[in-house]
Amino acid sequence: MNVGIVGASGFAGLELLKLLLQGHDVEVKALNSQRFAGKKVSSLDQTFPSKGLRFTGYSIEQLIDLDLDLVFLCLPHGEAAKLAPKFGCKVIDLSADHRGVKEAGEKRVAYGLPELFADEIRRADLVANPGCYATACILSALPLTSKGWLKRTVFDCLSGYSGAGREKTSAPEFKARVKDNAWAYDLTGHRQVPEIQAVLGNRFSFTPHVVPLFRGLLCTQHAALKQPKAGRDVLKAYEAFYKGKPFVQVWGKGCPDLASAQGKPFFAVGGFEGKENGELVTVGSLDNLLKGAASQAVQNMNLLLGFPEGKGLVE
All domains in the chain, ordered by first residue: 2-129+293-305 (3.40.50.720), 132-286 (3.30.360.10)
Distance CA 257, CA 92 (A): 29
pLDDT of amino acid 271: 94
Rounded Cα gap, residues 14 and 42, in angstroms: 10
- The per-residue pLDDT for 24 is 85
| Per-run averaged pLDDT (10 residues), the chain, 315 residues | 96 95 90 94 85 91 95 94 94 96 92 98 98 98 94 96 89 92 93 95 95 97 83 87 97 92 97 85 97 98 96 86
End-to-end CA distance of the chain: 20
Report pLDDT for 315.
65
Q: Report how far apart, in Å, the C-alpha atoms of 198 and of each of 81, 130, 202, 203, 234 are.
A: 20, 12, 9, 11, 23
Per-residue pLDDT at 47? 81
Q: Report the distance separating Cα 48 and Cα 39, nearest Å.
A: 13
Task: List active site positions.
Answer: 132
Task: Give the residues across from 25 on adjacent strands.
Answer: none
pLDDT at residue 233 in the model: 86
What is residue 51's predicted lDDT score, i.e. its pLDDT?
73
What pLDDT score was predicted for residue 253? 83
pLDDT of res. 232 = 67
Question: How far is the CA of 30 from the CAs of 20, 61, 84, 89, in angstroms?
Answer: 12, 13, 16, 14
